[in-house]
Every structure is written in C-alpha cells, then in structure tokens.
C-alpha cells in the first residue's frame, strides 16, 4: 500500500471532472444515501493529490457524491501523494469495487478500456477479464469495448439492468435510430432476453427482405396498434407482437399452422386430446397428448384414440403434411 | 477464374513430395514461405495464398449425412479444403476454422489409406468423391492429381470416382484412361443465380460445354442441382437450365442428377450476411431441420423438387434422380417413391455407379 495521508477534505478541493480512476457507472444506490444519512461515512474515500493542488477521486466517488448531496463537509479521506502512479490508483479502484460487489456490464467495459492504456491485450484478456468474471476471449473483449460507444439511453439501460448486455452487443452494428427503436420496444413490453434475441433477428430479417429500416418494421401500423392495446395485459401484448412478427417473417409456415388447426377442427378430436404436428412439419414424429385420473378414464381415452386412428379423415390429416 | 496463388505457404515436412514438386514446377516464380507447421488462424481468407501441408487425419471419410435424412452414402476422398470460388452459400465458410485454400501433399498416406479401404471391403461398390470440402478440379492445373486418380480408379473393378466442379478445367481428363470409372459432375444453377451467388465460378453454358466435352471423351457425367435457390421466377429459370442441359449433353450418358435445396448450419447465417451483404438467399423463410440445419419450409422444397423432377423426367424418363438429405415423406411427395422401396438410396446409386 503506497504511503497515505489521512485528512479532512473540502469539496472545492476535489476535481469532480477527473475520471481517470472512475469505474462506477449507473444510478446511485438509494441504500447508500440512507446509510450515510443514518450513521455517517464508515469507509473513507481514497483520493490522490495532483500536481495542480486539486484532488483526484480514486475510490468512493459515490460516497463523496452522497456526502455532497447531504451537505456533509469536510469529508474524512485517505489521500495518496502525487508520486503514486495512475496504474496503481486505477488498480486500487478496480480491486476496491470488485471485492465488494459485482460490476455492471458498463463498469466492466470501463475497466477494460481504462486498463487497456496500461497493459497489452493478452494480459487484458488473461488477467483482467477473469477478474471481472468474464470469459477470457478476444470476441467478448471487443464486445465490451464497444459497449460505451452505444447511445447513452442504451448504455444507461444496460447499467441499470433493464437491457441485457447480449442485446446491446447485438444492437451495436445497427443505426442509432434503429437501436433506440428496439430499446423502446424492449423496455415497453416484458420480453425475455431470448425472445428479445429472437425478435431482433426476426425484425432484421424482415427489414433486409423488405428493404425497410428496422425501426419502420417496429413502428409500423400493425405493431404500433398491438403495442398500444392498453386493455390487454403487457404479457399478452408481447406475445401478440411476437406472433405477428413471426407470421410476417414465415408466411408459409404460419399458413400451414392455420391450415392444420382447421384440419384438426374438421377431424373433431375428442375433448381432452391434443395432437401436435412434427416441429415445423419437418419429419414424421407426431405427438398425441391426453391426461387421465383413473384407470377407467385411461381405458376410455385409449378407446377414443383407437377409434380416431381408424378414421379416414385422421389418416388423411397425418398424410397431408 | 483460373486460380493462380501469389504466395505459397508450404510445410517443410512435405517439401520433397511429388505434389509440392509439381506445384513448384507450374509456379516457378511464386514466392514460397517454408514453415514447420501452418498456423491455424481464424482470420479472413488470404485470397492470394495456397497452403500445402501434411494432413494428419483420415483421407477417407463418409459423407457427413445425418440419420434424420436419407444420405447418398458416398465416401469423401479428402485432398484439400476450401475453395477460391467464393459462392455466397458455401458451407465451407463456417465448416473449417482455417480460412485459406489448402492442399494435402502427403499423398503416399492417401494412396495407402485408399488401397486399405478398398481391400477391406472388396465385395462392396465404392463411390468416392473429392468435391465435398473443395472443388475437385479447381487446382488440377497446378496439381495434375486427376492424372493419378482417374487411372487408379480405372483399375478398380468396384469403385468409381466422382469429380464435382464448378470450373471448366477438364483438359487434363481428355487423354486419361478412365474405363468408365470416373464420373465428372457439375453443380448447376440459372445464369442470374450464378451471377449473384457464384460470381467467381464459370457460366452455365461453359459448365455444360465442359460436360459435353467430357462426354465426347467417354466419361459419364452427373449434375447436382444443389443448392436449388428460391428467387423470382425460379420455376422459369430452372426450366431454362434443364432445357439447355438437354440441348447440350446426351442424357443417356448422365450417371445421376441430385436435387437439394439450400440448407445451412445457423452459424453460417451471420457469415453470409457479413461477407455477402448483397446476397438475397437468406430472404426466404427457413425452418430448423431435424439435423439442426436451416432449410426451406418443406412444402416449398417439395414444390421445387417436383418441378425439377418433372422437367428432367420429361427430357429423359430413365434418368437417375435423387434427393440430397431429405426425409422419406418428402421423397414420396416429390418423386413418388421412397428409396427404401428400391433397396435404399445407396443401393440405387451403387447400381448406377459401375459402367
């Protein structure tokens, strides 16, 4: 540990715009404000004396911000001398944070880009990425490095946890307006991350095929109306949009599914029996499902199934795939 | 379109092999980098480079079919990997980690494995092909490998060699003693598709003309409508291809014609989008097949196969037409029978194979 001075610091001594060691990003936790308000500052922030007399924040930027907000001044701090290197300060900031909490993806991106100024890429991949719980890989490093180049609403959403970094990585090659259109859609309705990935691919496929911008697919009349169906629950609206986009991307499959439902209706399956075609009508593996409570009920069901398999309409249905 | 590398990267272990000596004799002024072992890289292909290496795996492999679909059951004679033709849909873009065109020079090992394989299964018909992981004739002007392979198979009573290509580099075949044991095959597509998706390959007319010349030299020929691609007016365009085929070659000398629609592993999709942004082949709808590959929806596949089958049968009733990697139900709907009814696809092709 480099030699440290302990002293009380006035806010005017701090250069708040010096982000050399800043790796925190995202909303300030409310709990921190309540804790400092209730019991005061338990852990002293770490700063560094600069040549120009001002102080650089090394660790504790959030604590200092909260103190300023609460009017707690002066603040007791540890202060490094000017002789301590930037790399040492940065490492202090990183280790101090990773020891206490999991960094959000934007903070991981900040760590990687800041450390890249001091270490070579193999060391960044082999040493720094595992420290951040990231798989050491060039591809992943490039994705994280690109995260900060995204539009600030997207960066904020990733830092705040409302947008998964996987989606942000996938949005990066798109144009700004398209990225933001996706963000708005994903923030409005409760799609899981895997469904967001599916929608992203589906919308991009439609966009390429039809020669329109992805944002025009997202904001077209039909999708807009589904999004604004305020009487329907959010989950239902999300599902409606997914089905609508799938139908637009795969009209043949959708038409076949509808034809199958009509054929099933015409066959007249006994209540409680459910017939599923092979996935995507590929291959010949059908699925018939029913439930029962008692052996007698099973007997009835099996008789129904036996009668069904003898029906010409049912056999035609299986062949008409 | 003839491939002339501007740089050779050769492993020292194969420096004295006949293949390396042949390539060096054809390209005496091409710079050579000698290496202990060619590095496996993942970067983009260096289009000017030809790597010549010692192959440490098996030269003979079964066609990578899956149980879910009916496979032709031919054996791959693996003499090199990758291709310089750059077809947008090419599966090789994602199949191998190494990006560059590569030849295997330790042919003594290949001959040994080939002799062992044939010796182990004397009573079977063997159908070998060199066109699975590269184009069979792309590098023939440099390697003259066909001059070794064709006479070898001519001496094997139960074996045939299929050379699959999109080139017209057939000159070296003219004088070879093939005894009907080599089939020369071309992949066919309409002119528009060739221009947009196979831009570095030869034109349809040139392929058909090369096929006609091979027929003149007594070779049986074959055609692969694979991948069949959906595009505007595809019915009319494939009709035109079939018409030109029958007006150029004698259908009685066609060993077989395969039909296969576009299919690809999902990993290939972003590669195609990145490398060939102008290509429209991914615009059609796809579904995951039983083997995990993306395919056209089955009704569309059936429609395409039926169309081609009808055209081809109209031109020559006796043609041996088969589907590449399709299920029984698609065979039935498209061609009106299943291979099983005729002893299985392998047996059908085995019967066709020998002269």
Q: Predicted ipTM? A: 0.87
B94 vs A: CB within 8 A:
no
Residue B201 distance to chain A (closest CA, Å): 26
Classify residue B249 by its DSSP letter: S
Which of B285, B287, B298 faces A251 most closely, judged by CB atoms?
B285
The pLDDT value given to residue B1 = 55
Q: Find the mean pLDDT for residues A38-46.
A: 92
Provide the chain B residues 230-259 that lie in CB contact (below 8 A) with chain A: none
Residue with tokens 């804790």: A35
A282 vs B: CB within 8 A:
yes
**Bridge-based pairing state of the strands A287-289 and B7-11:** unpaired
Q: Band the pLDDT of A321: cuts 50, 70, 90.
A: low
Q: pLDDT tens, A270-300? A: 888 999 999 999 988 999 999 999 999 999 9
Residues B122 and B120: their CA atoms lie apart, in Å, by 6
Is the pLDDT at A320 greater than 80, yes or no?
A: no
Q: Which residues of B touch A249 (CB under 8 A)?
A: 285
Q: What residue segments make up the domains of chain B, in order of their start? A: 57-353
Residues A264 and A260: their CA atoms lie apart, in Å, by 6
Strand partners, B165: B186
**Bridge-based pairing state of the strands B220-228 and B254-261:** parallel
Contact B113, B60 (CB under 8 A): yes
Per-residue pLDDT of chain B (355 residues; tens, 9 = 90+): 578 999 999 999 999 999 999 999 999 999 999 999 998 877 777 889 999 999 999 999 998 877 789 998 899 999 999 999 999 999 998 888 778 999 999 999 999 999 999 999 888 999 999 999 999 999 999 999 999 999 999 999 999 999 999 999 999 999 999 999 999 999 999 999 999 999 999 999 999 999 999 999 999 999 999 999 999 999 999 999 999 999 999 999 999 999 999 999 999 999 999 999 999 999 999 999 999 999 999 999 999 999 999 999 999 999 999 999 999 999 999 999 999 999 999 999 999 999 8
Given the candidates 2.60.40.1180, 3.80.30.30, 3.90.1300.10, 3.30.420.10, the CATH classification of the domain at B57-353 is: 3.80.30.30
Residue B135 distance to chain A (closest CA, Å): 31
Torsion (CA) B18, B21, B25, B27 in degrees, nearest 10 = 120
Q: Find the mean pLDDT for residues A96-100.
A: 92
Residue A320 distance to chain B (closest CA, Å): 10
The pLDDT value given to residue B271 = 93
Q: Band the pLDDT of A258: cuts 50, 70, 90.
A: very high
Which of B283, B288, B329 faces A280 most closely, judged by CB atoms?
B288
Chain-chain contact of B282 with A321 (C-beta, under 8 angstroms) = no
Residues A111 and B188: their CA atoms lie apart, in Å, by 54
End-to-end CA distance of chain A: 73
Residue A253 distance to chain B (closest CA, Å): 7
Size (chain A), residues: 321
Is the pLDDT at A142 greater than 80, yes or no?
A: yes
B288 vs A: CB within 8 A:
yes
CATH 2.40.30.60 fits A1-101, yes or no: no
Contact B259, B272 (CB under 8 A): no
The pLDDT value given to residue A318 = 86
Q: Find the mean pLDDT for residues A33-38.
A: 92
Q: Which residues of A touch B68 (CB under 8 A)?
A: 283
Residues A20 and A82: their CA atoms lie apart, in Å, by 14
Contact A115, A90 (CB under 8 A): yes
Domain with CATH 3.90.1530.10 in chain A: 1-101
Closest to A116 measured CA to CA, from A105, A124, A108: A124
* Percent helix, percent strand, percent coil in chain B, to nearest 5: 35, 20, 45
The pLDDT value given to residue B124 = 92
Closest to A89 measured CA to CA, from A146, A45, A124, A121: A45
Interface test with B, best of A174, A278, A282 (most B CBs within 10 A): A282
Q: Which residues of A touch B299 (CB under 8 A)?
A: 252, 256, 281
Contact B220, B255 (CB under 8 A): yes
Q: Which residues of A touch B289 (CB under 8 A)?
A: 282
CA A166 to chain centre: 6
Closest to B281 measured CA to CA, from B188, B192, B167: B192
CA A299 to chain centre: 49
DSSP class per residue in A90-106: HHHHHHHHHHHSPPPHH
Tokens of A87: 């790399």
Q: What strands lie across the sheet with B182-187, from one edge to the other? A: B60-62, B75-77, B126-129, B159-165, B182-187, B220-228, B254-261, B321-323
Mean pLDDT, chain A, rounded, equals: 94
Interface test with B, best of A202, A283, A316 (most B CBs within 10 A): A283
Strand partners, B220: B183
């Amino acid at each position: 540990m480099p030699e440290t001075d302990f002293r009380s610091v006035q806010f005017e001594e701090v250069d708040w715009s010096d982000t050399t060691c800043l790796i925190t990003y995202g909303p300030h936790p409310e709990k921190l404000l309540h804790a400092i308000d209730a019991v005061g500052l338990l852990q002293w922030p770490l700063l560094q004396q600069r040549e120009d007399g001002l102080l650089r924040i090394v660790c504790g930027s959030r604590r200092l911000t909260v103190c300023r907000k609460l009017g707690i001044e002066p603040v007791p701090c540890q202060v490094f001398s000017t002789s301590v290197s930037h790399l040492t300060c940065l490492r202090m900031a990183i280790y101090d944070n990773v020891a206490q909490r999991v960094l959000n993806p934007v903070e991981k991106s900040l760590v990687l880009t800041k450390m890249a100024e001091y270490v070579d890429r193999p060391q960044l991949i082999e040493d720094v990425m595992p420290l951040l719980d990231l798989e050491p890989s060039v591809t992943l490093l490039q994705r994280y490095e690109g995260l900060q180049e995204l539009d600030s609403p997207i960066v904020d959403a990733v830092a705040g946890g409302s947008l998964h970094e996987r989606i942000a990585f996938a949005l990066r090659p798109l144009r700004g307006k398209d990225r933001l259109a996706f963000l708005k859609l994903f923030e409005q309705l409760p799609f899981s991350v895997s469904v967001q990935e599916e929608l992203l691919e589906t919308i991009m496929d439609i966009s390429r095929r039809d020669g329109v911008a992805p944002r025009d697919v997202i904001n077209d009349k039909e999708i807009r109306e589904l999004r604004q169906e305020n009487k329907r629950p959010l989950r239902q609206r999300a599902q409606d949009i997914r089905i609508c986009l799938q139908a637009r991307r795969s009209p043949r499959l959708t038409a076949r599914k509808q034809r199958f439902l009509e054929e099933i209706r015409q066959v007249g399956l006994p209540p409680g029996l459910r017939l599923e075609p092979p996935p995507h009508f590929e291959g010949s593996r059908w699925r018939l499902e029913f439930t029962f409570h008692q052996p007698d009920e099973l007997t009835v069901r099996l008789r129904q199934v036996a009668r069904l398999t003898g029906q010409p309409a049912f056999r035609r249905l299986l062949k008409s795939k | 379109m003839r491939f002339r590398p501007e740089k050779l990267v050769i492993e020292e272990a194969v420096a004295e092999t006949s293949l390396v000596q042949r390539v060096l004799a054809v390209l005496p002024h091409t710079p050579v980098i000698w290496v202990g072992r060619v590095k496996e890289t993942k970067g983009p292909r260096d289009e000017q480079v030809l790597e010549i290496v010692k192959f440490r795996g098996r030269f003979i492999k079964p066609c990578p079919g899956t149980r879910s679909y009916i496979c032709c059951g031919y054996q791959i004679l693996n003499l090199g990997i990758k291709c310089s033709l750059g077809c947008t849909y090419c599966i090789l873009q994602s199949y191998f980690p190494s990006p560059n065109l590569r030849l295997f020079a330790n042919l003594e090992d290949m001959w040994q494995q080939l002799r062992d394989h044939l010796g182990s299964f004397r009573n079977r018909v063997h159908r070998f092909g060199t066109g699975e992981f590269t184009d069979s004739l792309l590098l023939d002007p440099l390697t003259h490998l066909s001059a070794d392979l064709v006479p070898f198979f001519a001496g094997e009573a139960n074996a045939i060699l299929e050379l699959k290509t999109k080139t017209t580099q057939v000159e070296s075949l003219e004088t070879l003693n093939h005894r009907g044991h080599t089939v020369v095959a071309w992949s066919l597509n309409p002119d528009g598709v060739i221009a947009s998706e196979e831009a570095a390959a030869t034109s349809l007319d040139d392929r058909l003309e090369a096929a006609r010349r091979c027929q003149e030299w007594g070779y049986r020929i074959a055609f692969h409508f694979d991948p069949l691609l959906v595009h505007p007016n595809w019915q009319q365009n494939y009709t035109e291809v079939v018409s030109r085929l029958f007006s150029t070659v004698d259908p009685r000398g066609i060993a077989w014609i395969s039909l296969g629609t576009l299919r690809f592993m999902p990993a290939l999709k972003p590669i195609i989008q990145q490398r060939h942004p102008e290509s429209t082949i991914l615009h059609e709808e796809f579904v995951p097949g039983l083997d995990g590959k993306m395919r056209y929806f089955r009704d569309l596949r059936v429609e395409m196969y039926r169309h081609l089958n009808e055209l081809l049968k109209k031109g020559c009733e006796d043609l041996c037409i088969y589907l590449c990697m399709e299920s029984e139900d698609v065979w039935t709907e498209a061609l009106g029978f299943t291979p099983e009814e005729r002893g299985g696809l392998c047996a059908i092709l085995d019967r066709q194979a020998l002269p």
